[in-house]
């Protein structure tokens, strides 16, 4: 397994996730209920804010998983399932390089 390739994928994904979080900052701010924009527009704004907050939470979880995966490079446990301790397939690592589990244990 080409460890450097996966490390590069993780670093790239980390940068992309951080950029995504930066773009979400404005849309996840609280909605000002005193803003005279109309009831339906306010409801749309609140719904958009909630969707942005959910996206932000998923992105933060992804960052934690990426950091944990990068940490596994240090102790040579990257690519090994944390549950069954078998190797994670390269196909899975290419799709989700931060994955701590093999396909079988993930499901």
Nearest to 101 by CA among 45, 85, 57: 85
Q: Classify residue 47: in a domain, yes or no.
A: yes
Q: Classify residue 24: in a domain, yes or no.
A: yes
Q: Classify residue 88: in a domain, yes or no.
A: no
Q: Classify residue 92: in a domain, yes or no.
A: no
Q: Classify residue 100: in a domain, yes or no.
A: no
Q: Classify residue 94: in a domain, yes or no.
A: no
Output the pTM of the full model: 0.79
Number of domains in the chain: 1
Share of residues in the chain with pLDDT > 90 (%) = 64
Q: Classify residue 93: in a domain, yes or no.
A: no
Q: For 47-86, how does the pLDDT look when each residue is reduced to its tens digit (9 = 90+)? A: 888 888 899 999 999 999 999 999 999 999 999 999 999 9
Q: Which domain holds residue 64?
A: 3-78
CA dist., res. 43 & res. 47, Å (int): 6
């Amino acid at each position: 397994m080409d460890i450097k390739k996966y490390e590069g994928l993780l670093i790239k994904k980390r940068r992309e996730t951080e950029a995504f979080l930066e773009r979400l900052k404005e849309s996840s701010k609280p909605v000002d209920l005193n803003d005279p924009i109309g009831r339906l527009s306010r409801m749309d704004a609140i719904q958009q804010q909630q969707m942005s907050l959910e996206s932000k939470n998923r992105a933060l979880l992804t960052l934690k998983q990426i950091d944990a995966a990068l940490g596994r490079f240090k102790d040579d446990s990257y690519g090994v399932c944390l549950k069954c301790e078998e190797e994670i397939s390269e196909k899975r690592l290419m799709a989700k390089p931060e994955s701590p589990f093999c396909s079988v244990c993930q499901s």
